[in-house]
Every structure is written in C-alpha cells, then in structure tokens.
C-alpha cells in the first residue's frame, strides 16, 4: 500500500505561495511576449506600408497605364525592396532573389494585404487605381530579422527575470513563513518540554490579536480546564483517602481484636456491629463526595432537613467523644430546617469540624442548629485553646494545620479544607472565629 506523502504546514504554504507566483509569472511573461510580438509585427507592417505609399506617390499614369520613373531595374537597397506591377507586368523590381519576386507577384492582385516570406522579410501590397479602375500594384518589403531578434531577446530576458523573481519570492516566502510560524514552533517545543506535573505552565502569548495568538489563548484556556480537572481528581483522591482512613483504621482494629483471642457471641456481635457501622460511614463518605462533585457540576440538586445531617455527624463522632471523656451537646429547633443540600453531604461538612473539636477541646462541645433569615446556621464550639487571628483562613488551605496541631501527629490538614469546599459547592460557607475562648466554627447554608 502506497502511503500518502505527508508534508508540513510550512512546506504546504511555501508551495502554495510559490505556485501562485509561478502561475502569475507564466501568465505575465506569456501576455508580455504576445503583446510585444503583436506590436513588433504591427511596426513592421506599418513600415512596409509607408514605403509602399512613398513609392506610390512617385508613380504616374499615362494613357490609363502606370509608368515607373526608374525603370525595370530599380536600385532599391536589398534591405528595403519595392516592386511595381502594372497588372501582372513588372514595371520595377529590386535586385533580389527570384523567390522574393515571385512572392511579390502573388500579391499583384487583390486588396491591401501583407505576407511574410522565408521568415526573413515582410511584404505589403498597395493597389494602384485610376478613375476607379485598378491599373497596378506596389509591393514593399521590410526585413524582419531585427524584429525577430528583439522578440527573442525579450522572451529570453522575461523568462530569466521571471525565474529570478520566482527564486527571490521562494526565499522571501520561506523566511517570512519561518518568522510567522516561529511562535507555533516555540509553543510545540514548550508543550513537549512540559511534564504532567507542570499544571500551571501556559503559553501566555498575551492579548489575542491574530490567528496564532488566538490559538495560544484557546490552548491556554484548554490547559486551564485540564488543570482544573486534574486538580479536582487529585483533590477527590486526597479527600477520599482522608475520609476513609479513620473508618478503615477502626475496621482493622476491630478485626484484629476479634481474631486475637476467643470471644463470646455478644463480643463478636459488638465487633461486627462496629465494623458494619464504620463500613456504613465509609459508604456515606464516598456517596457524599460524589454527591458534592455532582452538585458542583450542576447535575444534581436536592434538599434535606439540616437537623438530620447534623445529628448524623454528631453520632459519627460519639465514640471518639466518649473515649476522650468529653461531653457533646446538640441543640436543634423544633421545626425542620430545609436546606438545599443532601443530608449525607451536610454530615461530611460538619464531621471534620466535629472531629477538630474532639481533638482540641477539653471537656465540652456544643452544636447548635438555627435559622438566620434565608440562611441555615450550624455553630460548633469547643472549650479548647482556640485559634489565633492569623490562622482563621490559613487552616482551610489543603495540607495546612494550625499551631496546636504541631504536636498532634494525627490528621493531614485536609478535613477543614474539605468541609469548606463541600459547603461552597452547595452555595454556603464555613468560617472560623478567633475569640480567645475555644474553637468556634460556623457553617452557613442557603435555605431551600
């Protein structure tokens, strides 16, 4: 199978430009030489006609017959021969080869006309009339070797000039295309040099003003979308790891304890219930994160009672609260608080805040659900050391941890970032307050 010839864009553009110029030059050279040839032929004919008319003015008519003043043998130079015919009889002829005389005699009848003989001379015949009756003919000849030489020189010169112009256009086009496509070459080299970790690299060709800069801007926008998609994937992976690590550790611990020694049926049942409870927490975490992704993409919107999501979050940390010897108080309004978010997603929002309160509180945690205008609020307060003013925003950055966490090996600094991101995906917000009286976090969500 013959593979098609593949050439680059620069070569195709160069061939197109050179081909167009070559076609224009061919048409131009052909037209120029045709016009020049026609003009030279007209000049030769005009000169022959002028000579014939000059000879005609020297003739006289006697008794209805044409009379030549010079006689039969004219001393006209060979270069400009003239014949005078009275009917078919030659009254005057130059000293030229018989072939030219025969050609002139063939023009002795008929109207004004011209003839080229032996590619070397042009003849022009002028009828001589008297009293409305034709009585003879004057035939003048003009050598055309000089005209032919001029036409040949013009043809060779125009072709040579066209070839030089074509070569110059080809070189100039090659240089211009190289300069014009240089940004594309640089963009190609840059893209080839970037790795899959260079998510922030862009072509950055400035404000679009032509096709190439518009292409660069379009590719930058595409890279931005790809970068956002990759970051979202990395963040989702980190969040899944963060959310699944604790229940997985609990499942592993319960399994290890259950297999370490023989236990009673009730103890096995308690272990299995703990495994089931933590597996359910893992399932809810995965579903909540996927729901957050769908909600951020605008593909799914649902509502729930904020009291249910907060209760589920409190129950998820109940065991840790008991183990830490702390007390957690939940205060909810008597009427439903309908928010534009799923209950599982709300649980994943408050869970990192509650987990943070369990870690850094001393003895008591209070959780209060309320309504403020068109917004539902969840206030989570502990009696720990609290936050410094400079930390209220920094702790929501992925991987960032507060000053109290420096001595705590637990955690990866993703929980609070996840909580704020999930809240924002539902049109809400999570904020921290530094009041010097323990940790205080507020969740704001729009009412449905």
Q: Which of 271, 197, 268 is nearest to 227 (CA)?
A: 197
Res 218: pLDDT: 80
Six-digit token string for 71: 């006689």
Q: Residues of 358-396 as b/e, b for ≥16 C-beta within 10 angstroms?
A: bbbbeebbbbebeeeeeebbbbbbbbbbbbeeebbeebb
CATH 3.30.2010 is right for the domain spanning 195-300:
no
Three-state SS at 119: coil
Q: Which of 123, 160, 157 is nearest to 142 (CA)?
A: 123
Residue spans of alpha helices (H) in 137-181: 145-180
Average pLDDT by consecutive 10-residue portion of the chain (448 residues)? 67 89 94 93 89 84 72 56 86 84 84 79 87 85 89 94 94 87 78 68 75 78 74 64 70 77 75 76 66 58 88 90 91 93 87 88 92 93 84 77 53 71 87 81 92
From the number of C-beta atoms within 10 Å of its C-beta (0-12, 13-18, 19+), residue 31 rates as exposed
How far apart are the C-alpha atoms of 406 and 359, rounded to whole Å?
13
Res 250: pLDDT: 76
Taking a C-beta distance cutoff of 8 angstroms, is the pair 359, 395 a contact?
no
Res 242: pLDDT: 61
Extents of the domains making up the chain = 9-169, 195-300, 301-448
Cα–Cα distances (Å) from 384 to 28, 381, 394, 434, in that order, read 93, 9, 19, 12
pLDDT over 70, % of the chain: 82
Q: Which of 348, 336, 363 is nearest to 312 (CA)?
A: 348
Taking a C-beta distance cutoff of 8 angstroms, is the pair 161, 145 a contact?
no
Six-digit token string for 202: 């862009």
Q: Which CATH number fits domain 301-448: 3.30.565.10, 3.10.129.10, 3.40.50.620, 3.30.470.10?
A: 3.30.565.10
Six-digit token string for 42: 């007209």
| Helix, strand, coil percentages in the chain from 3-state DSSP, rounded to 5 | 55, 20, 25
Tokens 């409305």, residue located: 132
How far apart are the C-alpha atoms of 134 and 86, rounded to whole Å?
9
Res 187: pLDDT: 78
How far apart are the C-alpha atoms of 82 and 95, rounded to whole Å?
10
Q: Which residues pair with 116 in a beta bridge?
A: 122
pLDDT over 90, % of the chain: 24
How far apart are the C-alpha atoms of 430 and 330, rounded to whole Å?
19
Res 281: pLDDT: 65
Res 205: pLDDT: 72
Taking a C-beta distance cutoff of 8 angstroms, is the pair 291, 297 a contact?
no
Res 212: pLDDT: 74
* pTM exceeding 0.75: no
Six-digit token string for 162: 């066209």
Q: Which residues pair with 382 in a beta bridge?
A: 365
For 328, phi and psi rounded to 5 degrees?
-120, 130
Task: State the sign of the Cα–Cα–Cα–Cα dihedral 377, 383, 384, 386.
Answer: positive
Res 409: pLDDT: 46
């Amino acid at each position: 199978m013959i593979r098609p010839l593949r050439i680059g864009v620069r070569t195709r553009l160069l061939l197109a430009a050179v081909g167009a110029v070559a076609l224009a030059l061919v048409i131009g050279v052909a037209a120029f030489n045709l016009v020049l040839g026609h003009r030279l032929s007209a000049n030769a004919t005009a000169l022959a006609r002028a000579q014939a008319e000059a000879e005609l003015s020297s003739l006289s008519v006697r008794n209805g017959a044409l009379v030549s003043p010079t006689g039969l043998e004219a001393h006209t130079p060979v270069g400009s021969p003239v014949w005078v015919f009275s009917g078919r009889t030659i009254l005057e002829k130059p000293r030229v080869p018989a072939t030219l005389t025969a050609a002139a005699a063939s023009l002795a009848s008929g109207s004004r006309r011209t003839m080229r003989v032996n590619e070397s001379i042009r003849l022009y015949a002028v009828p001589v009339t008297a009293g409305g009756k034709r009585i003879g003919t004057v035939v003048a000849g003009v050598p055309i070797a000089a005209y032919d030489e001029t036409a040949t020189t013009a043809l060779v010169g125009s072709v040579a000039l066209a070839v030089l112009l074509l070569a110059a256009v080809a070189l100039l086009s090659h240089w211009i295309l190289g300069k014009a496509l240089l940004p594309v070459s640089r963009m190609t080299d840059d893209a080839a040099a970037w790795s899959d970790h260079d998510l922030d690299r862009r072509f950055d060709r400035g404000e679009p003003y032509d096709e190439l800069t518009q292409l660069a801007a379009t590719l930058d926008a595409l890279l931005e979308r790809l970068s956002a998609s990759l970051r979202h994937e990395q963040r989702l992976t980190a969040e899944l790891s963060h959310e699944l690590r604790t229940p997985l550790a609990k499942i592993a611990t319960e399994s290890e304890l259950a297999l370490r020694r023989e236990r009673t049926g009730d103890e096995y049942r308690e272990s299995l219930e703990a495994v089931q409870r933590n597996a359910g927490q893992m399932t809810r975490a995965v579903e909540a994160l996927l729901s957050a992704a769908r909600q951020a993409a605008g593909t799914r919107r649902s509502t729930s009672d904020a009291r249910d999501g907060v209760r589920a979050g409190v129950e998820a940390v109940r065991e840790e609260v008991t183990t830490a010897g702390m007390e957690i108080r939940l205060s909810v309004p008597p009427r439903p608080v309908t928010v534009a978010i799923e209950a599982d997603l709300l649980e994943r929002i408050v869970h990192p805040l509650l987990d943070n309160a369990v870690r850094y509180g001393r003895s008591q945690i209070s959780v209060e659900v309320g309504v403020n205008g068109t917004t539902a609020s969840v206030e989570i307060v502990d009696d720990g050391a609290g936050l410094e003013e400079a930390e209220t925003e920094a702790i929501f950055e992925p991987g960032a941890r507060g000053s109290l966490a420096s001595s705590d090996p637990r955690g990866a600094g993703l929980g609070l970032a996840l909580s704020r991101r999930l809240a924002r995906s539902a049109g809400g917000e999570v904020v921290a307050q530094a009041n010097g009286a323990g940790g205080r976090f507020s969740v704001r969500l729009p009412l449905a």
